[in-house]
Amino acid sequence: MSPINTPVALFRLGRILSTPNALAKLDNQDILVAIQRHQAGDWGDVQQRDREANDQALEEGTRLLSKYHSARRIKFWVITEADRSATTVLMPEDY
């Protein structure tokens, strides 16, 4: 039996939320994969300074922001609050 490659969870997600706009535009699979990547520290398509800020936020307990593209190339974000009470999937225009 081969081992399952399960990403390591680096932080709590809290309550998982999504804006109505994101739910209307994204497939559930895109959302699930993005949340898994986000929690594993794969910040997606962020700039280097944002990547470094997220890595620092893991240590300091501040807000985390990831940017992804769906299978249909739709850009969306995943944000976890500083207190880790909630993680929200949203479209850039929802911010």
- Confidence (pLDDT) at 8: 86
What are the beta bridge partners of residue 88?
Answer: 17, 79
Q: How high is the mean pLDDT in each 10-residue block of the chain (95 residues)?
A: 67 98 98 97 97 96 98 98 98 96
Residue showing tokens 């910040």: 43
Q: Show me where the domains of the chain are located.
A: 15-94
- Strand 15-18 relative to strand 64-69, pairing: unpaired
Q: Are strands 15-18 and 86-90 parallel, antiparallel or unpaired?
A: parallel
pLDDT attached to residue 6: 65
Q: What is the pLDDT of residue 69?
A: 98
